[in-house]
Structure 1
Amino acid sequence: MIVTLIVAAEISWWIVLGLGLSARYLLRWRRTSTLLLLGLPAVDLALYALTVLDLRGGATASWTHALAASYAGFSVGYGPSLVAWADRHFLHRFAGGPKPLRSPVYGPERTAHEWRIAQRTVVSAVITLTLITLLVPLSAGSAHFGTFAPWYWRLGIAAVVNVIVAGCFSIWPKEAPAGVTVVDGRVVEQPAPAEESQQRASQDKVS
């Protein structure tokens, strides 16, 4: 049952996001769009509430209940960035907005990007573990800490690894290869050799 609820929550989350962005950029209903996007956390809360009710109803606590809690934690940590990512692509695809920039790959911008990922991972882990811990008192005795123990060290390791990776980029920033033009940590696309020849020829004609 819980797995079905998780799948339904995932589908619902993306449907609500799609409706919110469609209302904003296709229908120009900005207020409606804001209300829909603000409703995204309600999907996570509903899933968590149903998880608690399932346990209180006598279901045997298992990894699926922890997974439902981790879904809510992931949405808190990564949800805003996912919404921003979808917003940029929807704006570009349907409303004539600029092409979304790729993530930076070099220099201090890449380091800052890695720290943002680490921050989101840590927030997700903290929220998830808090919600998992709360399942025990909220489940009226149906859940025990031992059932969810593996989640503590797994999420802890994931958070620590992300922080270590970000720290490594701080100590050893990734530099661009020689001859590559980089702006704000992103590689600037260079014209192909044929295009360069045409550009030079046209410039010679003008001069």
Structure 2
Amino acid sequence: MIVTLIVAAEVSFWILLGLGLTTRYLLRWRRTSTALLVGLPVVDLTLYALTVLDLRGGAVPSWTHALAASYAGFSIGYGPSLVRWADRHFLHRFAGGPKPLPSPKYGPERTRYEWQVAGRTVVSAAITLSLITLLVPLSAGSAHFGTFSQWYLKLGIAAAVNVAVAACYSIWPKEPPAGVQVENGRAVTGKPLVGSAPGRTPADRP
């Protein structure tokens, strides 16, 4: 059952995201678009609520229950940045917006970017592990704790690795190759890169 719910939640997430951007840029229904995009985390939180009900109904705990919790953690930790990424690409592809800039590769901009990624990973891991911990009492407590314990290790390692990578960039900032012109942490070839238009992401609009 949980696997089916996870698949349904994944499909629903991308459908809502696509509809949100379509109604915003192609149909100009801004309020409808905002409502659809706000509903994105609701999908994953609903999945988690159904997971709780499944365990309370006597289901045998498995890794799929923990995976359902991780969707909610990912949605909160990475959801806003994912929506901004999709927004920029949709705006460029279908609404004549500027070409999205690549992630910065050099200098303090790269360091700042790596810390942003690390922060999202830490938040996502913390929320996921908190939600998994809440599932333990519904799983006959310590009798099934081993079912979820591997997630603590895996997500802890993922968060630690991201923080370590960001720390390395802080200590040893990546410098561009000799002769390469850099602007805002990105290599510039020919004319300067054009930034994204201000106020053109869902996070910046009501």
Q: TM-score, length-normalised on structure 2? A: 0.89
The C-alpha deviation readout for 1:3-30, integer Å capped at 9, x for no partner, is 1211111110010011111110001010
Q: 2:96 is matched with which residue?
A: 96
Q: 1:120 is matched with which residue?
A: 120
Moved over 4 A (4+): none
**Structure-2 separation of matches of 1:35 and 1:189:** 40
**Structure-1 separation of matches of 2:123 and 2:139:** 27
Q: Which moved more, 1:145-154 or 1:13-22?
A: 145-154
Q: Secondary structure at the match of 1:28?
A: coil
Q: TM-score, length-normalised on structure 1? A: 0.88
Q: 1:152 is matched with which residue?
A: 152
**Structure-2 separation of matches of 1:50 and 1:75:** 16
Deviation of 1:2 (Å): 1.2
| Amino acid corresponding to residue 133 of structure 2 in structure 1 | T
Structure 1 vs Structure 2: percent identity of aligned residues?
Answer: 78
Q: Which moved more, 1:119-128 or 1:33-42?
A: 33-42
Indicate how the Cα distance of structure 1 residues 177 and 147 shifts in structure 2: closer, same or farther if over 3 A, else same: same
Q: 1:162-177, aligned counterparts within 5 Å?
A: 162-177=162-177
Deviation of 1:107 (Å): 0.5
User: Which of these two proteins has the greater Rg computed from alpha carbons?
Assistant: 1
Q: 1:25 is matched with which residue?
A: 25
Deviation of 1:146 (Å): 2.4
Contact 2:60–2:139 (Cα < 8 Å) also in 1: no
**Structure-2 separation of matches of 1:149 and 1:34:** 38
Q: Secondary structure at the match of 2:60?
A: coil
Deviation of 1:144 (Å): 3.2
Q: 1:46-195, aligned counterparts within 5 Å?
A: 46-137=46-137, 139=138, 141=140, 144-190=144-190
The C-alpha deviation readout for 1:26-66, integer Å capped at 9, x for no partner, is 01010111111111111011100111111112111011110
**Structure-1 separation of matches of 2:174 and 2:183:** 14
| Amino acid corresponding to residue 141 of structure 1 in structure 2 | A
| Amino acid corresponding to residue 68 of structure 1 in structure 2 | A
- Unmatched 5+ residue regions in structure 2? 192-206
Q: CA RMSD in A?
A: 1.4
